[in-house]
Amino acid sequence: MGKQVSHNNGAGLKNKVMSGLFWTFGERIIAQCVSFIVSIILARILMPEEYGVIAIILVFINIADVFVSNGFGESLVRKKNSDETDFSTIFYCSFVFSWILYVILLFWAPIIADFYKQEALVPLLRVLALKLPISSISTIQHAYVSKHMIFKKFFFSTLGGTLISGVLGILMAYGGCGAWALAAQYLCNTIIDTVVLFITVPWRPQRLFSRKSATQLIGYGWKLTASSLINEFYSELRSLIIGRVYSSADLAYYNRGNQFPSLIITNVDTAIGKVVFPAMTKVAEEKQRIKQVSRRSMKTTSYIIFPLMIGLIAVSEPLVELLLTDKWLVCVPFLQCSCIYYMCQPIQTTNWQIIKAVGRSDLCLKLEILKKTIGVSIILLTMNFGVLAIAIGNAAFAVISMFINIAPNRKLIDYSVGEQMKDIISPLVLSILMGIVVTYIGKIDVPAIIGLVLQIVAGVAFYFIGSYLFRLDSFLYLLDIVKSFIREKVGK
């Protein structure tokens, strides 16, 4: 009887994970496709310098947002029996703290503008910083959705925000609003996401507050917040340096090169993080079950991500020229370095979720300190050799960071470095071979758009034919899911 219950629970969890992945991938892919189209239109209208100004502002807002959006929500997800008191308590803590941060940025705006010698930063920063109190509301809504694995809610909130804010940004850009078009798009997206979730998610803050609950949840969450803060500060450190030592245009080129691979990885990484972490917490005391979830996540994400990143490296120049025009070609080498960086990201994420799921937030903090100490050293070594040197150093750091994240899980769930490398080696080798083929086809003397189409078609065909011939595990796994889905729909 016990085995039957365990089997039913396992099947239920699997169904929730697959449903969650379906809706989360759908949310990310559709919304980001819309966002990508909007960003292409805006990039053709606006100048790199206008993007650079907003990029500088977002450095400070993103760092401040860590205090509001990270740690607290995840502590609610991880606690097995978090109740209404827990949710309301964390909501009030997060909301009050977000306004404190807003006031700090309000007064710091002139100092930041003076540091970068950009007076336009003052009103833009003060307006965009309103994201913080808005995010404090949506953070708890996101935690509720993740806790109950009702990821369908994200689909509508994200899509609605992306569509409406995108239209607003384009209209303002055509109207000559410059950087304010980007600011309006960014803030509008956050507002709509929060409003739609408030309407669709059946949770509302109650007049409940528990000091004991706050102490317990913040005791777990502050370590994750500290880890995320270190990670976010490190991620934004390059922007801080490039914007100050070089120029806002250089920062725009660097960020634009980062945009293409980030667009892909953020979709996959966010989907995996939202779905796999809650799934792991439900079996946190079963080492073998966590390992099974982790291996499947590792195999599937590497099978999807490796060919996308290597293919993007091969087609980067014609892609940028066709989509963004010649004025953005400077970003191509930055794009290629970012592809290498982001290839490591899903592997890092899966291992990171394992550590969090087993309750080792202390280890998360220690690993972040170690990784970022190495990362900052690399930045300091490369910053005086140009923006490209900074980008190359970032790619090298990603490889080092990946192995640091992997190492503890040999002991935690018996998932060793060797076993993880074995799980990802087949799609990596096949992706490299595909990249060589795509690069060779790019040398054919045909119009740019035809050449790009040929490269993409050849790359996709090569990868899937190779997957079939060599019977790659993830290919067969995904094929089986597609067949089951089709049978289910046909059966209905």
3-state DSSP call for residue 471?
A: coil
Query: Which of 277, 270, 296 minimizes the C-alpha distance to 354?
Result: 277
In this structure, what token pair is assigned to residue 219?
A: 């005791």
Name residues whose C-beta falls within 8 Å of residue 157's C-beta, 6 or more positions apart in sequence: 192, 193, 194, 196, 197, 200
For residue 65, what pLDDT is reported? 83
In this structure, what token pair is assigned to residue 380?
A: 């300091």
Query: Which of 284, 295, 381 minimizes the C-alpha distance to 78?
Result: 284
Location of structure tokens 């965009």: 128
Distance CA 275, CA 346 (A): 13
Distance CA 35, CA 162 (A): 6
CA 311 to chain centre: 20
Write the DSSP string, 345-401: HHHHHHHHHHHHHTT-HHHHHHHHHHHHHHHHHHHHHHGGG-HHHHHHHHHHHHHHH
In this structure, what token pair is assigned to residue 384?
A: 């005086």
For residue 71, what pLDDT is reported? 59
3-state DSSP call for residue 185?
A: helix
Read off the pLDDT of residues 355-367 as tens digits, 9 standing for 90 and up: 877 777 788 878 8
Distance CA 265, CA 398 (A): 14
Report the first-to-last Cα separation within the chain, whole angstroms: 32
Amino acid at 254: Y
DSSP 8-state class, residue 207: S
In this structure, what token pair is assigned to residue 440?
A: 């060779």
For residue 278, what pLDDT is reported? 57
Distance CA 258, CA 5 (A): 47
pLDDT in tens, the chain (492 residues): 444 444 444 445 455 554 545 545 555 566 667 777 887 888 888 888 888 888 888 888 888 887 777 656 666 666 667 777 878 888 888 888 889 999 999 999 999 998 888 888 899 999 999 988 988 887 777 777 666 655 555 555 666 777 888 889 899 988 888 889 989 988 988 888 888 777 777 778 888 888 877 777 776 667 667 767 777 787 788 888 888 888 888 888 998 898 888 877 766 665 555 555 555 555 556 777 788 888 888 888 899 899 999 999 999 999 998 888 888 899 999 999 999 999 998 788 888 878 877 777 788 878 888 998 999 999 999 999 999 999 999 999 999 999 999 999 888 888 899 999 999 999 999 999 999 999 999 888 888 899 999 999 999 999 999 999 999 998 988 888 778 767 776 665
Instruction: Please give the angle made by the CA atoms of 453, 458 and 463, to the nearest 5 degrees.
Output: 130
For residue 53, what pLDDT is reported? 86
Distance CA 291, CA 140 (A): 29
Amino acid at 124: L
For residue 302, count other CB atoms closer than 10 A to its CB. Answer: 23
* Radius of gyration of the chain, Cα coordinates, nearest whole angstrom: 23
Read off the pLDDT of residues 260-275 as tens digits, 9 standing for 90 and up: 888 777 666 655 555 5
For residue 437, what pLDDT is reported? 95
Q: What is the phi/psi pair of residue 464, to 5°? A: -75, -35
